[in-house]
Amino acid sequence: MSAVAKLAPIFPWDYVVPDNAFWDGITESESKAFVTCFTPEEIEAMTLDCSQPRETKLQRLRSILADTLATREADAAPLLLRDVDHGSWRSLKGGVITLDRALGTGESEEATALYFYENGANDGKDMSALLWLADIFEREGKYGAAETRARQGLDWISGLEKLGPDSPQALGCMRLLVNSTWKQEKYVEAEEWIAKCTDSIERLGRGKFAKYQEEEVVELERVVKALEKQRAGLGAAKG
């Protein structure tokens, strides 16, 4: 988690990895998958051996997540934890899947994202998985599918009172739209999304998500720079 994201106010997606040697060698996505499922006090009380190799550490974290998930599933019975506390179920299940993948035993990332999308609360769709799917499709070169999912995700996020059109999540969707439209050579549309991102980031600095403004500026600059470099390379190749 960046230093900026640690600033107040604290949002549900913010997290801090404990500052000890156990987490050395654990990637950001792996540590996030675990620490977001527990309070700092709960993690402090856990027995985590700093001397273990990376794979053993991952197995230990995976075991804690799986045991916690099983306990909470049993507590929710005869109902499903997915319906009783969808946020807890999603975090724990997602953590187990993330660590399975890190250990080389998990399903494909696309299959996992689709699983979450199809298993929302009360047998509905988990719309938050749309951004994940869009990112996967973009990385796989399925730019049309990425654009479709990103548009759906942006529409959904923009309508949420707690997030809205000028939130880090909305900007994540817009960056995906910049990428996916540009890589379909829809350059005019991509430039329009870049302008929308710039405007949204400016408004972000005046709202409740102001602490993320600097990060969002850096992320948009990174995306645009990479796309311009790619376009220059394509032009040189055609020439």
Average pLDDT over the chain reads 88
Distance CA 70, CA 106 (A): 18
Percent of the chain with pLDDT over 90: 61
pTM of the model: 0.74
Domains annotated on the chain, with CATH: 1-126 (no CATH), 127-239 (1.25.40)
CB 171 within 8 A of CB 216: yes
Kindly state the average pLDDT of the residues 38-58: 92
Kindly state the average pLDDT of the residues 55-71: 96
Kindly state the average pLDDT of the residues 103-119: 82
Kindly state the average pLDDT of the residues 189-217: 95
Distance CA 163, CA 158 (A): 7
pLDDT of residue 143: 97
Residue 228 has pLDDT above 80, yes or no: yes
Q: How confident is residue 238, by pLDDT bands cut at 50, 70 and 90?
A: low
Q: How confident is residue 147, by pLDDT bands cut at 50, 70 and 90?
A: very high
- What pLDDT, in 10s, does the model give residues 150-197? 999 999 999 999 999 999 999 999 999 999 999 999 999 999 999 999
pLDDT of residue 146: 96
List of long-range contacts for 185-188, beta carbons under 8 Å, 24+ apart: 187/231
pLDDT of residue 1: 46
Percent of the chain with pLDDT over 70: 91
- What pLDDT, in 10s, does the model give residues 1-42? 455 555 565 777 677 788 889 999 999 889 988 999 998 899
Q: How confident is residue 234, by pLDDT bands cut at 50, 70 and 90?
A: low
